Structure 1
Amino acid sequence: MKRLLLPALLLFGAAFAADEPKTVEAPKEFVLFNGKTLDDWESVDIGGSGVVELEGDVMIINQGESISGVVYKKAATLPLTNYEITLEAKRLQGVDFFVGLTFPVGNVKTCATLICGGWGGSVTGISSIDGFDASDNNTSSYQRYEDDKWYTIKLRVTPENLSAWIGEKQVIDEDIKGKKIAVRPGPIESYLPLSLTTFNTTSAIRNIKLTPIAEKK
């Protein structure tokens, strides 16, 4: 009987261990801007674009004659769907969008732009869906943005939905299944697939991160 005791205990222990919950690793977070360098970002001058520089730990996109901004150089290493981008931004001067976040939707050639503060300083939405800009599609809303105030912005991209939050407030929840997604034709096409831009506006941006999210089944 004693000879059978040890194997039985080992068998019981193995069965118990098999029932233990497995540790699930948290999704890897990509820090796109850490406040120390702009080496991962490339300025794009479409003619009259403002200078992009580092001040302290903040990215400053200075006001230009039209669009100013930077493209993320390592976009090819990032997820193209099922991800969230978060950042903090504030408008320092100007009366148009202080955040133009262009992002891929499934592949590097299919992109859209989240606009915060466009068309005179308040329109928020995504350009473009089925050919309609942020001011004219279902994602459009008017949000009040104060100068020199930090706003936390979050964008979520999945194969079937685009969502966005300003602080704790969800401002976009758009089903995109079967819809045409594209950036607005024009200068913004020079900023694919992942970029930050402004229009006739100076903005400060910090804490830019991308986090993969679990795919829904």
Structure 2
Amino acid sequence: MKSIIFFLFILLVASCKNSPNKTNQTEEIKSYLVEKETADGVALFDGETLDGWEVTNFGTQGPVKVSAGNIILNYGDGCTGVTYTNDFPTVNYQLSLEAKRVSGNDFFCGITFPVDTTFCSFIVGGWGGPVVGLSTIDGKDASENETQIMMSFEKDKWYKIRLQVSDQKIMAWIDEKNVLDFETADHKISIRPEVSLSCPLGIATWNTTGVLRNIRMKKL
């Protein structure tokens, strides 16, 4: 009996000695995760389900599915996309993701996003494949307004896309290239009617199969 009591006493002492270390380690891990989440932003896509998203009912969409950590927007007869269903800021935020074109020759990533009290779309690879820009600015599409640039996109290659919206500017990068630095003052910002169902935040393709992953948002 004495030996059992002595053994339990030893376990209790050991537990007391180890407890602070475990607590400290847990707190360090939590602190690291919080710092990482703050630096990288918040994940909007869990990589496994469309939780927080819904398939946009364009009426022209192809099948949408989640596979291997990706959202696959399959070729439709027009737009195929997903719309975010949770709260999202209207200004002073950054949206980042990776996207690629698998098939088709039009935009494989069209992000419709809020700009204060209105909305706009950032088009990547539109109008037959090379156009990048905002639709619409002063009633003109990305193929016609001052934000247009031309880029070549390879099929089945991932591109890192980053979009920033402040109360003064809309900026964007593809990989590390700054492709957009647009001052919004004195301009009418709007969207094409085809993507009205993507508001307040949606991502779509046009007659193209596109794949998305690592969708994140960070407040600025």
TM-score normalised by length of structure 2: 0.81
Distance in structure 1 (CA, Å) of the matches to 2:98 and 2:60: 25
Secondary structure at the aligned position of 1:68 is classed as strand
What displacement does 1:27 show? 6.6
Q: What is the alpha-carbon root mean square deviation over aligned residues?
A: 1.3
Does structure 2 retain, via aligned residues, the 8 Å contact 1:34–1:206?
Answer: no
Say which SS state the counterpart of residue 33 (structure 1) adopts: coil
Find 1:192's aligned residue among 194, 199, 212: 199
Q: Measure the CA separation in 2 of the matches of 1:207 and 1:143.
A: 22
From 85, 103, 113, give the equivalent of 1:73: 85
TM-fit CA distance, 1:30: 2.1
Aligned residues: 184
SS at match of 1:189: helix
Give deviations 1:95-145, integer Å, cap 9, x for gaps: 0000000000013xx100000000000100010111111111111010110
Distance in 1 between residues matched to 2:104 and 2:60, nearest whole Å: 15
Question: Which range is displaced more, 48-57 or 199-208?
Answer: 48-57
Change (3 A) 1:146 1:27: closer
2:63 matched residue in structure 1: 51
State the partner residue of 1:118: 126
What is the alpha-carbon distance in structure 2 between the residues aligned to residue 38 and residue 163 of structure 1?
27
Is the aligned partner of 1:182 residue 2:190?
Answer: yes
- Alignment-derived partner of residue 162 in structure 1: 170
| Residues 96 and 42 of structure 1: CA distance in aligned 2, closer, same or farther (over 3 Å) | same
Distance 1:196 1:187 in 2: 12
**SS at structure 1 position matched to 2:100:** strand
Q: Tell me, in whole angstroms, the C-alpha distance in 1 between the residues paired with 2:184 and 2:113.
A: 15
- Determine helix, strand or coil for the equivalent of 2:110: strand
Q: Check whether the contact 1:156–1:163 (CA below 8 A) recurs between aligned residues.
A: yes
Point out the structure with max Rg over C-alpha.
2
Q: Does 1:94 pair with 2:104?
A: yes
Give the gaps of 5 or more residues in structure 2.
Answer: 1-34
Q: 1:104 aligns with which of 114, 122, 147?
A: 114
Paired-residue identity, %: 43
Asked whether the equivalents of residues 97 and 162 of structure 2 are also in contact (C-alpha less than 8 Å), the reply is yes
Per-residue deviation, 1:31: 1.0
Q: Distance in 2 between matches of 1:191 and 1:89?
A: 17
- Where is the helix percentage greater, Structure 1 or Structure 2? 2
- Structure 1: give runs of 5+ residues left out of the alignment: 1-24
- 1:198-209 aligned within 5 A: 198-209=205-216
> What is the one-letter code of the residue matched to 2:90?
L
